[in-house]
Structure 1
Amino acid sequence: MVTITDIARRLGVAVSTVSKGLNGANDVSESTRALILKTAVEMGYAGRKVQKSGVRKVCVLAEREEFLSAGQFGYDLAMGFRTTAAQNGWQADLAPFQGLLSSQEALDTFLLRHNYAGAFLIKQPLDSFFQSNYLKNLINSAFPLVFWEEESNGPCSGSVGSDHRRGVFMAVEHLCQLGHKRIALLNGLPDFPLSGLWAAAYRDALEVLQLTYQDALYADCRGEESVRPFVDRLLSFGATAVLCAGSQASSSVLACLRAMGRRIPEEISVLGLSGRLEASEKKEPFTVVRQDSLSLGRAAFYMLEGLRNKIPMGRLLLRPQLILRDTTGPCARHL
C-alpha cells in the first residue's frame, strides 16, 4: 500500500512537504503541490480513512445543490451514476460546488482530502462556473473526471452526452415519413451551446432527405414574444410541421396554435427536441426526441471506471429516443 513516504522518496522531497502538499498547505508552491498530487494519484495513494475502512468513493459534483433535487435536470443523471456505482461496490456522494468555489480550493486537493477516486461533473449550459477559469484548470487534473455535455481534452477526463445531431435527424426523418415536406425549426437562443448544432443538423437532415431549406421556416427563439410572429410566418409559407428546441418552446408553440384554432396534428404537427423530461412535457405530453438521463448517468460511471484503469476515453454520445405522442401525424396534404 502506497504511503506518503513512498511519494516523498519518488519525488526526492521531505515527507512533511508531501503531507503539506496533499493537505493544501499555504507554504507549498502551486507547482510543487500539483506535482505531489499528480504523483500520489499515479502511484495509487489513498488517504488514511480509505486505507482503514476499505471504502471506495467517487462523487457527483454540481454547481448548485438544487440541480440534484427531484424534478431537476441533474436528478436522474446523478441517480443513474450513483446506483451503478453502488452495484459495482463504490460509494458515490453528492458534493455541490458552492463550498469548493467559495474556498477556491483546488479540485485535486478536494478530491484527495475527501478520499474520492474521481468525479462526475454535472452542469447546466451557460452556468457561470463552467465558463470560469476554474473549469479551464480542471483539464489538468490528475484525477479521472467525467463531464456531462462538456467536451474536455484533459489527459484524465472524458465526457458523456446525447447525440443531438442524430436526434435532429430522427425527428426530421419521422416527419418526412409522415409525408411532411415543409418542416420548420424554432431554435434556441443564438448563444445557447446547442443552438448551432441543432441548426446545422436540421439543414443537414433536410439535405439528406432531399427536402428544401427555407429561411422563412427557421427562427431563433427569443422569448414568448417571438413565438406568435414565427408561427404566423411558418403557416403563411405552408409549413405542415415544426420542430421546437426545448420543451418550453414546444409548449408555447402548441398553445399558440390552439389559440389560433389550429388542429394538432391534423393541420400541423409539433415535435420537441429536448435533452430531458421537463415539467412542461409532463403537463402536456408531445412527440419528443430526448435522452434517457439515467442511461447517461450509468455511462458516466463506466467511463470513470475506464479512466481510472488508464483507458484513454474521449467523448461518448448516447443515441436519443423518439417518443411518439399525439402531436405528430400524417401530413393532411398527403392523406
Structure 2
Amino acid sequence: MGRRPTINDVALAAGVSVATVSKAVNGRYGVAVETVERVLQVVQELGYESSLVASSMRARQTGVIGVLVADFEPFSAEILKGVGAALHESRYDLLAYSGSRQLSPEGWERRSLSRLSGTLIDGVIMVTPTVVNVSAEVPIVAIDPHTGPADLPTVESDSFGGAKLATEHLLSLGHRRIAFVAGRPDLRSSSLRDAGYRRALAEAGIPFDPSLVAVGRYEQDTVREAAHRLLIRSDRPTAVFAANDLSAIAVIEVATELGLDVPGELSVVGFDDVPEATQSTPPLTTVRQPMQRLGSAAAELVVSLLNGGTPEKTHLRLPTRLVRRGTTAPPAVPPSV
C-alpha cells in the first residue's frame, strides 16, 4: 500500500465499521473481545499503529505536547518558538492548536482539552488561558494565566516590575502626565502592569488620574479609540505607556494621524518586545519580557512532570527589562493657553 493506512482501511479489512475500529483502538466498551483482537491484528498488519491514536492505545503516550493558544499573534508566536527550541532535542513533538472562540470566548481551553487530551497529546501548555481551574488526563502548565488563583503550574514574566520600569523611565525624562492603555482585565499580567504603573506614579509623588487610564483589551480597534480620546484632549498626556507592543504601535499610528510627532510631542512605551517593535517608526521603546524563555520554561516543566519528576518550582516568574529605542524623549514645552 503506497499511502498511510487510514481507519477506513482498517475497518474494511477487519469487516467492521469505522466506529467499531475507533472503539477498539481506544479501549472503549461495547466491542466484543474477539472483535477487538481482530481489529488490532489488522492494525498491526496494515501498519496503522504509526498513527497517533493507535500508538497512544499501545503505549498510552503519543510523544506530542500540545500548545493551546487563543490566537496566533506575535506573543504566542514567540512562545511557540521557545517551546519548539526546548523540545528540539527531546523525544516530544509540538502540536499548536487554536480552538474556536466564536461560541464562548471564555472557557475555550476546556473544549480544546477535551478534544486533544488522552488520545493526541501527552501534555499541555496553555497560553494566556481565561480559566485555570481545568483538569485533564495529562500534565498542564499555564503561561500568563487568568487573574484567578492558579492551582496549575504557571510561568509568567515580572509584569509589575516591568510596568514600573516603563513608567519610571518616562518620569525620569520629565513626564508628569502619563497615560496608561491597559490590556485584558481578566489577565493577571494586565492587572499587574496597571499596578506597576500606579506604584511608580505614587513613589514619584504624582497623583493618580483615572481619566488617563483607558482599557484597550489588546484589541486594535478598541486601542485606537482609546488613544484617540486621550490625544484629542486639550490637556492631553505627554506620554503613553501601553500594556503591550501592538497597542503601543496603534497609539503611535493614531498620534501620527493627529499630526503629533513621536517622540517630540508624545513619548510612547510598550511591553513585550515583539519583532514588530523594532520595525515601527520610530523603533519602539519597550519592556522586554523573555517570551521564548517563557515557552521553553513551560516545556521543561511539562517534560519534567511527564517523566515523573517533582520540579523545584511550579510557579515561575521571569525578569523583564527596559529596552530604550526611539519613541521616548523629554516632554516638549507645553503650549501656552
Relative to structure 1, is the Cα distance of residues 110 and 25 closer, same or farther in structure 2, using a 3 angstrom cutoff? farther
Q: What is the DSSP-based 3-state SS (H/G/I as helix, E as strand, rest coil) of the residue aligned with 1:307?
A: helix
Higher share in helix? 1
TM-score, L = length of structure 2:
0.65
Instruction: Find the counterpart in structure 2 of residue 180 from structure 1.
Output: 175
- SS of corresponding position for 2:232: helix
Deviation, structure 1 residue 168: 0.5
In structure 2, relative to structure 1, the CA distance for the partners of 1:108 and 1:118 (3 Å cut) is farther
Q: Secondary structure at the match of 2:153?
A: strand
Match status 1:23 vs 2:29: no
Provide the residue aligned with 2:245 in structure 1.
Answer: 247
Native 8 Å contact 1:73 1:276 kept in 2 = no
Measured in 2, the distance between the counterparts of 1:206 and 1:57 equals: 49
Measure, in 2, the Cα distance between the counterparts of 1:296 and 1:97: 19
CA distance in 2, matches of 1:24, 1:108: 17
> Which residue, 59, 73, 80 being the options, matches 2:65?
59
Say if 2:273 and 2:286, in contact at 8 Å, map to a contact too.
no
Counterpart for residue 35 of structure 1: none
Count of aligned positions: 272
Give the structure 2 partner of residue 236 of structure 1: 235
Give, as a single letter, the amino acid of the residue that structure 1 aligns with 2:317: L
Match of 2:126 in 1: 121
Q: Which amino acid aligns with 2:235?
A: S
Determine helix, strand or coil for the equivalent of 1:230: helix
Corresponding residue number in structure 2 for 1:41: none
SS at match of 1:210: coil
Distance apart, 1:293 and its partner CA? 1.9
Q: How many angstroms does 1:209 deviate by?
A: 3.0
> Structure 2: how far apart are the matches of 1:106 and 1:190?
23
Q: Partners in 1 of 2:111 and 2:195 — Cα distance?
A: 39
5+ unaligned residues in a row in structure 1: which ranges? 1-19, 28-46
Counterpart CA distance in 1 for 2:115 and 2:260 is: 59
| Alignment match, 1:94 | 95
The one-letter amino acid paired with 1:262 is L
SS in 2 for 1:331: coil
Identity across aligned pairs (percent)? 26
Aligned mates of 1:147, 1:21 — CA distance in 2: 33
Aligned partners of 2:163, 2:29: CA distance in 1, in Å?
50
> Is residue 58–residue 117 contact of structure 1 (8 Å, CA) maintained in 2?
yes
In structure 2, the CA distance between the partners of 1:80 and 1:206, relative to structure 1 (3 Å rule), is: same
Report the secondary structure of 2:138's partner residue: coil
CA distance in structure 2 between the partners assigned to 1:159 and 1:21 by the alignment: 36
Distance (whole Å) between structure 1 residues aligned to residue 115 and residue 215 of structure 2: 42
The answer for unaligned runs of 5 or more in structure 2 is 1-22, 31-52, 101-106, 217-221
Contact kept, 8 Å, 1:22 with 1:112, in 2: the verdict is: no
Look up the equivalent residue of 1:277 and give its one-letter code.
V
- What does residue range 257-272 of structure 1 map to in structure 2 within 5 Å? 257-272=255-270
Deviation readout 1:141-187 (Å, 9 max, x if unpaired): 45321112126744xx4111222111110101111222223322122
Return the alpha-carbon distance in structure 1 between the equivalents of residues 57 and 313 of structure 2. Answer: 28
Q: Greater RCO between the two (CA within 8 Å, min separation 6)?
A: 1
Matched to 2:270, the amino acid is G
Counterpart of 1:3 in structure 2 is none
Cα deviation, residue 49, structure 1: 4.8
Deviation per CA, 1:114-153: give whole Å up to 9, x if none. 4x54232235x6xxxx55xxx6442xx4532111212674
Cα RMSD (Å): 4.0
Task: State the shift of 1:326 in Å.
Answer: 0.9
TM-superposed deviation, 1:223:
4.6
**Which residue of the other structure, out of 137, 160, 166, is the alignment partner of 2:161?**
166
Structure 2: how far apart are the matches of 1:268 and 1:175?
11
Specify the code of the residue in structure 2 equivalent to 1:183.
I
Secondary structure, in 3 states, of the residue corresponding to 2:295?
Answer: helix
C-alpha distance in structure 2 between counterparts of 1:105 and 1:313, whole Å: 28
Q: Distance in 2 between matches of 1:106 and 1:324?
A: 39
Which amino acid is 1:174 matched to? Answer: H
